Structure 1
Amino acid sequence: MKIYKYLMLFIFTGGLLTSCANDDMDDVPGQSELPGEEPKDDLQLEIRDFEYKAMDVWYYYNDDMAIYEDDFFADQSELNDWLMDWDSPEDLFYDGLLLNYPVTDRFSWIVDDYEELENMFAGTTTSTGMDYGITRVCAECNELILYVRYVIPNTPAEDAGIKRGMVFTEINGTELNVNNYTDLLASDSYTLTLGKIENDGISTTENTIDVSKTTVDENPVLVAKTIDLSGTKVGYIMYNSFTFNYSGALNDAFGQFKSENVTELILDLRYNGGGRIDTSIDLASMITGQFDDQPFVKFQYNDYIQSVYQNQGSDLTISMDDTVNWQNSSAPTNSLNLNKVYIIATGSSASASELVMNGLEPFIDVIHIGTKTVGKVQGSDTYYDSTAPNFDKTAAINPNHKYAIQPLILSLVNKNNEAYPGGLVPDFEQQEFISTYGVLGDPNEPLLSLALDQIDPTRSANRTIKEGIIPTEMISERKAFQHDYQRMYIESENIKTNSNSVE
């Protein structure tokens, strides 16, 4: 027999069409057992059946995996036995349902509390407010240091006096190394021992700082200011996450730039690991504005989903827009109508950050300052154990658990069908060094200074960027401990496919 693929409801301007790949079974999510059949574990089977059925429809790589072939399982009973062979829903997801995790697919994930996931997408996390990286003390040793990249305002880290450029060698009196840093950083509170950068390396001091974690709502617009560069108004914005709830704050920053007659823009994405796809399109529309309704990004799904969309007449593109939507609000886009943008991006810049850069490339000059980016071209979506045909929250969710999955469901290319799986290479390369960090937004901060040099080459005539002792070659960073680390995700109800919406 063929395993059922649930009805996909696609609402387009031309009307409603219901499509399915196979209809040999009449199950609905959360009701996987056949009549009269006693499941081994009701709740566990409900969760696992939901995982498989959602992945069977939406997973980007399911064309490459035998378990998703229509005749792989003889019937629902055989599928149930296979699902229950795994030790947990997590083991099933990572070891059974993903393609070669974590080599081919390290970006899909599962959570056991979708409310926590939704809070994270909204910018709410449990944190000290200290954004950090972690690197080795030397190339061949296992000792580590934690270095501060920035501090979120109005957080315990700011209250404790933690600042960008500080380095720490110990947490709770234990020296950091490659084997213990994950456990040490899991603590709810820290005593951090300050280190000192010296010519021959890092030394440990006797100075400590105490800091605790709390609930933090992070506005991703960390800095937004206008710099007067020999009469040229240069807008500088440091943007650290594509967070939908703060799209209004992003639009306000561009409104500030418009009111101050900004004619050049430096967009700092050096620590931005990604986020919502539609927010990246909003940002691109703020930078430009003269390309409204022109295709910005194209989506590529698995064969089944691709065929459903194409049968509906969709060209699977999303265009730039003159309206910014966030939460329950919307406003006209504050667009600068620029023909060039300077973007600071590094090895911590991924997903939606790269989408902005690659998506803008066919339209305007994109000058990349920094280092090569991650190279993340796939996007994901959230699926729930609900009675909705698309596994979304438009219908009742199974009240017995809070599991949700966030699988890769699409790959993205720009208007010219170009992608960047190897990462984006800078036009002007500059590594950051902890000992010469500088103040974010200060024209003398090394990466910002290099960007300003491209706008006014005369300012760099008698100056070179000073290198430091310790390069920030990371082995980890703060956001690596979050589920959405370097992920790019889509909220289907907010995505426009030309004049069409998808549900």
Structure 2
Amino acid sequence: MFRLHFFRIFAMMLFFAASFLSSCSKTETPRVLPKPVRENTKEARLKELVYTNTYDMYLWQDQLPTSFPTEDYRRAEDVLEALTEYSRDPVTHVKLDRFSFLDRSGTVEREISEGRKGSFGFDVRYQNETDLYVKMVYPGSPAAEAGMERGFQVLAINGNSELANSLHEPNDYQFLFDALDAESIELRLKKPDNTELSVTLQRKEFQIQPVFFSDIYTVGNKNVGYFVLESFVSTKDDLGRDTELMNKLNEIFNLFQANQVEEVIVDLRYNGGGAVITAEDLSNFLAPTSVSENALMYSYGINETLRKEDEERDENDRFFSPVHFNKTNTLNPTKVYFLITEGTASASELLINNLKPYTDVKLIGEGVTYGKPVGFYAVSIMNNDLYAVSFKTINADGETDYYEGMPVDKDVTEDLRWNWGDVNDPLLREALHYAESGSFTSEMILRRSQTDAATDKAGLNRKLDLRGNKDMYYFSLK
């Protein structure tokens, strides 16, 4: 009020001064006063709704203030970011919420729930400090249609052949990210046979097909199934019907079952998560037949407000009831190997955690998984989707809060020169070695078989791997 009152007085003084000057000189143009700047009322309302809705569903509700000065922040995203500061661990003071966000475009639901994506359909990773490679290509994408595959070396992007990590890491890979997010991109590539390929790609929307590869390997006297899953696109549509992904998974596991597969390798090395229902369906596919129908798969941790609201619903309509196994196939894997990197996140980690109490689980790959034991559902406010962390998952042994990631049983650096399913791929080779021998390779043997092992890539690809969606969504709550 004081500032507004002062402004009015100041405006009147200017008016009288202008009148006085005009009376002295009739030829001068009268001064036009600027209009007072007012806050965008739509954004102000959105900021307030972000706070009130976050408070209602936030996992760390008991640490949030009961009122919050949303007017002190420019945008709704700034309000949400400020609220995440209250997720700090009371003992370590480490901020636990790295995940909450506001989706103004509806991208998340299109990608995860509906299985649609707009992009070039490929992503990159460094093989060493100088060599950039294509790490994955979506089937049916512009990149796939142009003939690109995992294992192609990137020689130039938009005419720029200076791609060494040392040039781009200090600037947070801005050149790479800008190029990958643009409407078009020009690439010069080298194939594994040393021939070159030049392509120009246009960004477009395509149907996500997250199963990149599947096969069955015979090692010793047993069959081992293998499949690559890039993301947890939903296995059910809005009407509860099986999606294309569910049909593909049924096909794969029926083939595993028909060939009496005894162990399964699940390649999640770039899988940033997605729909909770997909993690549940995969848990049922991969669980041993000894798991009873009533066995606990996982339970939820939620705040007091959500708990009371859930308890008031009919038992069959509760959203956060414990989830139990419902295995319908007869596949009985005695061991499940997960191939991971630090980009393996959220719903991928939920799948791993679900199975750990019931079967022999081995993690093979680079260091640790991403570390996201929490998830959320969308709250639509003013045509925007708010995703504030609202639940955590807890397995049958009570294991949760793996914010620092799940450590591997065997640390193996991947080699981007090998395409999916090639037995020379270090991660796949290590899993097949264990399946045949019952043990991992020694470090000495492993290093001799890896030409680039001398390059320490710990942290080299962290920002590239963490690019994109790393989340766990409960879409039925929207």
Q: TM-score range by the shorter chain?
A: 0.7 to 0.9
Post-superposition shift, 1:109?
0.7
The answer (yes or no) to whether the contact 2:261–2:333 under 8 Å persists in 1 is no
Post-superposition shift, 1:298?
1.5
SS at match of 2:369: coil
The answer (yes or no) to whether the contact 1:157–1:211 under 8 Å persists in 2 is yes
Residue 427 (structure 1) aligned to one of 390, 409, 421 = 409
The answer (yes or no) to whether the contact 1:150–1:163 under 8 Å persists in 2 is yes
Post-superposition shift, 1:196?
9.9
Kindly provide the amino acid, as one letter, of the partner of residue 43 in structure 2: Q
What stretches of structure 1 of length at least 5 have no aligned partner? 1-38, 74-81, 139-144, 198-204, 323-332, 386-400, 494-502
Is it true that 1:488 corresponds to 2:472 in the alignment? yes
SS at match of 2:390: strand
Instruction: Indicate the larger mover: 467-476 or 243-252.
Output: 467-476
Kindly provide the amino acid, as one letter, of the partner of residue 298 in structure 1: S
Match of 2:9 in 1: none
Q: In the superposition, relative to structure 1, how do residues 206 and 354 fare at CA in structure 2: closer, same or farther (>3 Å)?
A: closer
Give the alignment of 1:298-309 within 5 angstroms. 298-309=299-310
Q: In the superposition, relative to structure 1, how do residues 208 and 55 fare at CA in structure 2: closer, same or farther (>3 Å)?
A: same
Residue 395 (structure 2) aligned to one of 402, 409, 414 = 414
Is it true that 1:227 corresponds to 2:204 in the alignment? no
The answer (yes or no) to whether the contact 1:47–1:403 under 8 Å persists in 2 is no
**Deviation readout 1:38-79 (Å, 9 max, x if unpaired):** x9655334433332221121011222121xx2xx37xxxxxx
Match of 2:254 in 1: 255
Identity of aligned residues (%): 27
Give the alignment of 1:63-462 within 5 angstroms. 63-66=62-65, 69=66, 72=67, 82-96=69-83, 99=86, 103-114=95-106, 116-121=107-112, 122-134=114-126, 137=129, 146-174=132-160, 175-176=162-163, 177-178=168-169, 179=171, 180-194=175-189, 208-244=198-234, 245=243, 246-288=245-287, 289-291=289-291, 292-309=293-310, 316-322=321-327, 333-371=328-366, 372-385=368-381, 401-419=382-400, 420-434=402-416, 437-457=417-437
Instruction: Indicate the larger mover: 162-171 or 447-456.
Output: 162-171
TM-score, length of structure 2 as denominator length: 0.75
Q: In the superposition, relative to structure 1, how do residues 196 and 119 fare at CA in structure 2: closer, same or farther (>3 Å)?
A: closer
Post-superposition shift, 1:454?
0.9
In structure 2, distance between residues paired with 1:254 and 1:221: 13
In structure 1, distance between residues paired with 2:301 and 2:280: 17
Match of 2:61 in 1: 62
Structure having the larger proportion of residues in helix: 2
Post-superposition shift, 1:381?
0.9
In structure 2, distance between residues paired with 1:65 and 1:261: 53
In structure 1, distance between residues paired with 2:451 and 2:144: 25
In structure 1, distance between residues paired with 2:191 and 2:275: 38
Match of 1:36 in 2: none
In structure 2, distance between residues paired with 1:46 and 1:233: 59
In structure 2, distance between residues paired with 1:194 and 1:135: 14
In structure 2, distance between residues paired with 1:343 and 1:206: 34
In structure 1, distance between residues paired with 2:344 and 2:334: 22
Match of 1:35 in 2: none
The answer (yes or no) to whether the contact 2:374–2:390 under 8 Å persists in 1 is yes
Match of 2:464 in 1: 477
SS at match of 2:53: helix
Post-superposition shift, 1:337?
2.6
Match of 1:21 in 2: none
Q: In the superposition, relative to structure 1, how do residues 346 and 478 fare at CA in structure 2: closer, same or farther (>3 Å)?
A: closer
SS at match of 1:369: strand
Q: In the superposition, relative to structure 1, how do residues 430 and 260 fare at CA in structure 2: closer, same or farther (>3 Å)?
A: same
Kindly provide the amino acid, as one letter, of the partner of residue 117 in structure 1: V
Kindly provide the amino acid, as one letter, of the partner of residue 372 in structure 2: K
SS at match of 1:131: strand
In structure 2, distance between residues paired with 1:424 and 1:92: 31
Post-superposition shift, 1:296?
0.9
Q: How many residues align?
A: 401
The answer (yes or no) to whether the contact 2:111–2:208 under 8 Å persists in 1 is no
In structure 2, distance between residues paired with 1:300 and 1:100: 15
The answer (yes or no) to whether the contact 1:432–1:471 under 8 Å persists in 2 is no
Post-superposition shift, 1:84?
4.0
SS at match of 1:192: strand
In structure 2, distance between residues paired with 1:242 and 1:382: 17
What stretches of structure 2 of length at least 5 have no aligned partner? 1-37, 89-93, 235-242
In structure 2, distance between residues paired with 1:475 and 1:343: 19
The answer (yes or no) to whether the contact 2:271–2:348 under 8 Å persists in 1 is yes
Structural RMSD (CA): 3.2
Structure having the larger proportion of residues in strand: 1
In structure 1, distance between residues paired with 2:53 and 2:190: 49
TM-score, length of structure 1 as denominator length: 0.71
Higher relative contact order (CA 8 A, sep 6+): 1
In structure 2, distance between residues paired with 1:306 and 1:137: 49
Post-superposition shift, 1:362?
0.8
The answer (yes or no) to whether the contact 1:287–1:335 under 8 Å persists in 2 is no
The answer (yes or no) to whether the contact 1:86–1:92 under 8 Å persists in 2 is yes
The answer (yes or no) to whether the contact 1:300–1:316 under 8 Å persists in 2 is no
Kindly provide the amino acid, as one letter, of the partner of residue 239 in structure 1: L
**Deviation readout 1:409-452 (Å, 9 max, x if unpaired):** 01122111112222112222211133xx4231123322111111
The answer (yes or no) to whether the contact 2:140–2:207 under 8 Å persists in 1 is no
Post-superposition shift, 1:187?
1.6
SS at match of 2:333: coil
SS at match of 2:86: coil
In structure 2, distance between residues paired with 1:83 and 1:183: 31
The answer (yes or no) to whether the contact 2:215–2:225 under 8 Å persists in 1 is yes
**Deviation readout 1:210-247 (Å, 9 max, x if unpaired):** 22322122211111212222442211111111111423
Kindly provide the amino acid, as one letter, of the partner of residue 161 in structure 1: G
